Amino acid sequence: MKKIDQTTFHIRLFDERSKQATAIHRLHPISKLFVTLAYLFVIASFEKYDVFELVPLVFYPMIVTVLASLPFRSLSKQMLLALPFIIGIGITQPFFVDGDIALFKQMTISAGWIIFFTLLLKGILTVWATLLLFATTGAEKIGAALIALRIPKPLVLQFLLTYRYLSLLIEEAKRIRNAYSLRAPREKAIRLSIWATMIGQMLLRSFDRAERIYHAMKLRGFTIEQYGMTQQKMNVIDVAYLCSWMVLFTVYRLFPLSTWFEVIQ
Residue 66, beta-bridge partner list:
none
Please give the Cα distance from 49 to 116 (Å, whole number). Answer: 9
* For range 211-217, the mean pLDDT: 80
Contact assessment for residue 10 and residue 186, using Cβ atoms and an 8 Å cutoff: no
What is the Cα 139 distance to its own chain's centre?
Answer: 12
Please give the Cα distance from 71 to 61 (Å, whole number). Answer: 12
Query: What residues contact 217, with CB distance under 8 A and at least 6 apart?
Result: none
Q: What is the pLDDT of residue 201?
A: 76
Residue 252 CB: number of other CB atoms within 10 A? 18
Name the nearest CA neighbour of 202 among 178, 177, 172, 162: 172
Helix (H, G, I), strand (E, B) or coil at 151: coil
Q: What is the pLDDT of residue 263?
A: 43
pLDDT of residue 122 exceeding 70, the answer is yes
Contact assessment for residue 132 and residue 68, using Cβ atoms and an 8 Å cutoff: yes
Q: Residue 229 corresponds to which amino acid?
A: M
The model's pLDDT over 59-74, given as tens digits with 9 standing for 90+, comes to 999 999 999 888 888 7
Looking at per-residue pLDDT, the higher value among 163 and 68 belongs to 68
What is the Cα 26 distance to its own chain's centre?
Answer: 20
The model's pLDDT over 84-102, given as tens digits with 9 standing for 90+, comes to 888 888 787 777 777 666 6
Mean pLDDT rounded to a whole number for the chain = 80
Looking at per-residue pLDDT, the higher value among 193 and 10 belongs to 193
pLDDT of residue 50 exceeding 80, the answer is yes
Q: Which run of H or of E encompasses 134?
A: helix 111-137
